[in-house]
Amino acid sequence: MAKLHYEYQTGKITFMRFALSAGICAGVSLAVVLIPQSDMGTTAIMFLGIVVALWIGRFSRVLLILLIGVAVFGGLVMLLFGSSYRSSRFAYLDPYNDGANGYGAGYQIIRSQYAFSQGGLFGQGLGGSYEKFQYLPEAETDYIFAVIGEELGMIGCIFVLLMYITFLVSGLFVARNSGSLFGAEISGSFVIMIFAQALLNMLCALGMFPTTGKPLPFISYGGSSLLATLCMVGFVLSASEEGAMPDEFERKRSSFKIFSAIKGLTSFASESINYNAKTREEAKLSEQRKNTKSAEAMLQSSHAYSNRNYFNPASLKGKNTNERS
């Protein structure tokens, strides 16, 4: 999607070709996840990534708002008139009245809330969780944040949240300073997708959002999820490296002869100034050495003069006796 929009922005393809290709690409991808697997959580995160890529690429705001409105309306219809499996997700609003006295659709949310309550402010200590021992279902994946809350307390939960916020801010900074529009769209959409998945997982564990079954990025158990997340981080790092390189205009500017000549003159002037300063410093040191040697020679002469015989009192006495005779 980002590549198609980049080609449309640079004029390589027309709007009709972009709309047709993007509609087929996005529609097929979302339909494969939504219809056979009935995974609305992943579908929503993928759609969010598409919207962010179009927004960063300066897509028409009117068409973008229209697209979001259609998607939200379709999602609400599927939630309200879809299968009973999706309708049971609303048990988070009152998990104790799930039709089975808290042992039905609301059981997982209740056990998660127990874990947070037992953790308190500082937690039970790393590895000290009780709910993860077959009490809290899917404690290692969907509800790993509840285990963090029980073992590390509210302080640990806030620390994890701050780490994800730092990741979000850093990724958006990379997208802003990317060397190309394509890199900005890729990095921005991937960063938002990872942060949205983390936020969705934490809200579900807290009982503030319907359970979607999304793992917590970088933390939850699961090789496929971690592999996909690391691939997205690799694209973000690639955009960051691209942003650190000189852009096309910088390369052209440095290739101009006049700028090269100015750069050479500047370098020559700097070297001349440094050479003159070094020469003056060496002359000053040489003069100081000469003054030091002169002072030492004068001091040695004065010592030698004071040690002569006519300064000896005995010789002076003998001289006076000879003069009187």
What is the pLDDT, as a whole number, of residue 194?
94
Model confidence at 86: pLDDT above 70? no
What is the pLDDT, as a whole number, of residue 31?
80
Model confidence at 214: pLDDT above 50? yes
* Distances, alpha carbon 3 to alpha carbons 184, 207, 320, in Å: 11, 38, 117
What is the pLDDT, as a whole number, of residue 164?
95
What is the pLDDT, as a whole number, of residue 261?
56
What is the pLDDT, as a whole number, of residue 178?
81
Average pLDDT of the chain, as a whole number: 78
Distance CA 181, CA 67 (A): 22
Distance CA 53, CA 49 (A): 6
What is the pLDDT, as a whole number, of residue 319?
47
Tokens, residue 291: 């003054």
* Distances, alpha carbon 145 to alpha carbons 70, 115, 252, in Å: 32, 10, 51
Percentage of the chain lying above the pLDDT 90 cut:
17
- Three-state SS at 175: helix
Phi/psi-derived region of residue 210, left when phi > 0, alpha when psi is between -120 and 50, beta in every other case: beta
Model confidence at 285: pLDDT above 60? yes
What is the pLDDT, as a whole number, of residue 322?
46
Distance CA 24, CA 66 (A): 18
Residues 252-280: pLDDT tens digits?
555 555 455 555 656 656 666 665 666 67
pLDDT bracket for residue 156 (50, 70, 90): very high
Model confidence at 88: pLDDT above 90? no
What is the pLDDT, as a whole number, of residue 323?
47
C-beta separation of 6 from 181 below 8 A: yes
pLDDT mean over 232-256? 70
What is the pLDDT, as a whole number, of residue 168?
94
Count of other CB atoms within 10 angstroms of residue 175: 24
pLDDT mean over 15-20? 78
Q: What's this model's pTM, rounded to 2 decimal places?
A: 0.69
What is the pLDDT, as a whole number, of residue 316?
46
Model confidence at 18: pLDDT above 70? yes
Tokens, residue 322: 């000879």
What is the pLDDT, as a whole number, of residue 240?
83
> Among 3-7, 19-23, 74-78, 158-162, which range has the highest average pLDDT?
158-162
Least confident of 235-244, 251-260, 295-304: 251-260
> Among 65-79, 96-110, 112-126, which range has the highest average pLDDT?
112-126
pLDDT mean over 125-150? 87
C-beta separation of 220 from 141 below 8 A: yes
Distance CA 150, CA 125 (A): 8
C-beta separation of 28 from 10 below 8 A: no
